[in-house]
Amino acid sequence: MHRANIILILTLLISTGCASSQGFDRTAMGKRLHIASVEGQENHSVSHQRTRPSPPFRLGIFFAEHHALNTPSIRKIEWLSADRDQLLRELAPLRDEQLLADMFVLTDIRLRGDDIKEIRQAGARFGADIVLIIDGIAAIDRYNNRLAWLYPTLLGAYLVPGTESDALVMATGSLWAVHSDWHTLIQPVEERSKTVGAAAFVEDAVALQDAKQLAIHALSKRIADQLRLLIEPTARTNSPHGE
């Protein structure tokens, strides 16, 4: 029995991850999302009066999925139905502003996030005027805090809040007109969330989901601001969001 307890404790200690925080590799995460190209490109597309679409729009939303395997420092994001519903709720006020006539999620499993042409064609089939592509990446920094010294006791491994799971989510997006060459990029956002507890009960998925919800909320504000730029100047002055 004593040997079994030792094995259990060692297993729990291994599962807690690193003894100290390792931080996040933001550079590697940015490369996954091609953030450098997003930040370096000036947004000229909004100023193209002749090619930009006119509101109200039918907006098709596509959530990109990464097929690459997770690494110790970077994890792919799985977009859940709750995430899709959250974004729809966040953008719903744009209907009252007469910016959106309708919005819906494109769920064609054959689509890839980097195949802009296919996504635009799919949007056209469903009657979208603009397609919004959402992409994101995540990282988990799991480590022990100063209370972890109590873990060698079996009771401590279940009761002592000596493990912390810190999640970082980066999210970005892009808007593409279906019937013209207009497009614009959404500046990326990043949000963090942390859970603290005993090694046996701290779940990385909880911190990750919380950070993802915060990122969707922040990104939706930037999407809304970008869509408002498409309002004609005369209409914008009469809008409650006008200057």
Asked, for residue 243, whether it belongs to a domain, the answer is no
143: three-class secondary structure by DSSP: strand
Say what the pLDDT of residue 10 is: 45
Please identify every stretch of the chain with a pLDDT value under 70, giving residue numbers as ranges. 1-19, 35-50, 67-68, 109, 113-114, 149-150, 154-157, 232-243
Q: Can you tell me the distance from the alpha carbon of 147 to that of 203, in angstroms, rounded to the nearest whole number?
A: 18
Say what the pLDDT of residue 143 is: 82
Asked, for residue 197, whether it belongs to a domain, the answer is yes
Asked, for residue 213, whether it belongs to a domain, the answer is yes
Asked, for residue 198, whether it belongs to a domain, the answer is yes
Q: Can you tell me the distance from the alpha carbon of 183 to that of 53, in angstroms, rounded to the nearest whole number?
A: 10
Say what the pLDDT of residue 105 is: 95
Q: Can you tell me the distance from the alpha carbon of 223 to that of 90, in angstroms, rounded to the nearest whole number?
A: 10
**pTM for the predicted model, two decimal places:** 0.80
Asked, for residue 233, whether it belongs to a domain, the answer is yes
Say what the pLDDT of residue 42 is: 42
Asked, for residue 242, whether it belongs to a domain, the answer is no
pLDDT in tens, 163-172: 889 999 999 9
- What is the maximum alpha-carbon separation in the chain? 79
Say what the pLDDT of residue 14 is: 44
Say what the pLDDT of residue 147 is: 78
Instruction: Give the total number of structural domains in the chain.
Output: 1
Say what the pLDDT of residue 39 is: 44
Identify the domain containing residue 164 by its residue range: 2-237
Under 8 Å between Cβ of 115 and 62:
no
